[in-house]
Amino acid sequence: MWIECNIEGAGCVIELEKDFIMLDASTFKEVLIPHHRRLYLLALRILGDHAEAQDAVQELYLRLWERRDTIEINKNLGGFLTMSMRNYCISQLRQRKPSVDLDQAARTSGEDVAEAVESRDRVTMLVDYIETMPPAQRDALIMRDLQGCEMSEIEQTLNISSGNARTILSRARAALRKHFENCKL
C-alpha cells in the first residue's frame, strides 16, 4: 500500500508497513517522541539557535498531532520525520528577515558590517543553490554534511544502495564546488 503525504509542502510517497493506525495521545508519544533528540539536533544544525530549534520540533509535533487522523505509521518513520523537519527548518530560514543590531553596527566599522552582510549573502546563495539540486543529491548532501548522518542512514532514508549513495553524494559535492568556483563565493 502507498500513501502520499504532504505536511506543509513536504510532499513524499511512503510505503506502508502496517494498515492504518489511528494515533491517540499515548500512541503518538510512544511512536514520535523518541525521535525528539534527533529532530532537535537537526533543527539546531540548520537554524543555529537553541530556542528556534526547540520551537521547530514543537511546531512539527503540533502539525503532526493536528493531522493525526490522516497519519499512517510506516517502516521509515525516522526518514519521514527527518525530511519533514528539514523542510520546515528551510522554510523558516527563507522567512527570516535580515536583521542588524543598530547598536552593534554603530560600534563596528563599516568594513565589519560589510563583511557580515557579505557573509549572510553567501549563506543565502548557498541555501538557494542547494534547494535547486536534484532531490537525491540535495537530501544526501544535507543528511551527510549538515546533519552528520551515517551513510547507512542515507541509504535507508533515500532507499538506495551503498554505491548509489556514495555516487550521489560525490556528485552533489562536485556540483557545489563548481557552483562556488563560478560564483566566487
Summarised one tens digit per residue, pLDDT across range 11-24 is 433 333 344 445 67
Predicted local distance difference test score (pLDDT) of residue 159? 86
Q: What is the DSSP letter of 96?
A: P
**Residue-level pLDDT at 100:** 54
pLDDT of residue 55: 94
DSSP assignment of 111-156: HHHHHHHHHHHHHHHHHHHHHHS-HHHHHHHIIIIIS---HHHHHH
| DSSP H/E element including 4 | strand 2-5
Question: Phi first, then psi: what are they for 134, rounded to 5°?
Answer: -55, 145
Q: What are the CA-CA distances from residue 134 to residues 24, 87, 137, 156, 183 (Å)?
A: 37, 15, 5, 18, 19
pLDDT at res. 124: 79
The span from the CA of 173 to the CA of 47, in Å, is 21
The model carries a pTM of: 0.48
Length in residues, the chain: 185
Below-70 pLDDT ranges, the chain: 1-23, 71-75, 97-113, 184-185
108-185: CATH topology: Arc Repressor Mutant, subunit A (1.10.10)
- If one looks up domain 1-96 in CATH, what number appears? 1.10.1740.10
Q: Where are the domains of the chain?
A: 1-96, 108-185
